[in-house]
Copies of this chain bind each other. A is one copy, B any other.
Amino acid sequence: MAAADRFEEVLALLRAHGGRVTAPRRAILRALIDHADHPTAEQLTADVQVGHPETHESTVYRFLDDLERLGVIDHVHLGHGPAVYHFADDTHHHLVCKACGLVVEVPERALEGLRRRLRSDFDFEMEPRHFAVPGRCRACAESTKVPS
């Protein structure tokens, strides 16, 4: 989706739900769209504050919550630090190396088999979002044999 389209689309959705389009919200949404990778709330706040220094972190958190409730974005916990945010239709998954922090993106279909199994055997609808798989990348797995 083109960035400009997404920008207008989200604002329209926001208005359709009785929300208001304000300067801070435009800036936060812009920052979200401009971020290629997975930004934290703190990074987004910093980005927004470049142009709008008075923007408060709580405003960012509140708007991110709103967007999440609207189904526009999701947050993911990649490890022990802050959550990262990404658009909800960005359905890939994340493998996070516990040793070096490397994040590998995995397309959704890699988990199709697991999804089917959990549904049929455990009556459980796995949600593709909000999901990070910890482990070790090859380099780290080889350098730290059976850590513990």
The answer, among B110, B118, B133, B148, for a CB contact under 8 Å with A110, is B118
Contact between A148 and B88 (Cβ–Cβ < 8 Å)?
A: yes
Task: Give A104 to B134 CA distance when docked, in angstroms.
Answer: 19
**Also in contact, A121 and B110, with CB within 8 A (given A77-B77, A131-B134, A134-B131):** yes
Which secondary structure dominates chain A's binding surface?
Answer: mixed
Q: Does A51 contact B (CB under 8 A)?
A: no
Give 10 new A-B contacts, CB below 8 A, not counting A71-B148, A106-B122, A130-B134: A77-B77, A106-B118, A111-B114, A113-B117, A124-B133, A125-B137, A125-B138, A125-B141, A126-B133, A127-B134
| A binding-site residues for B, Cβ under 8 Å | 70-71, 77, 88, 95, 97-98, 104, 106, 110-111, 113-114, 117-118, 121-127, 130-131, 133-138, 141, 147-148
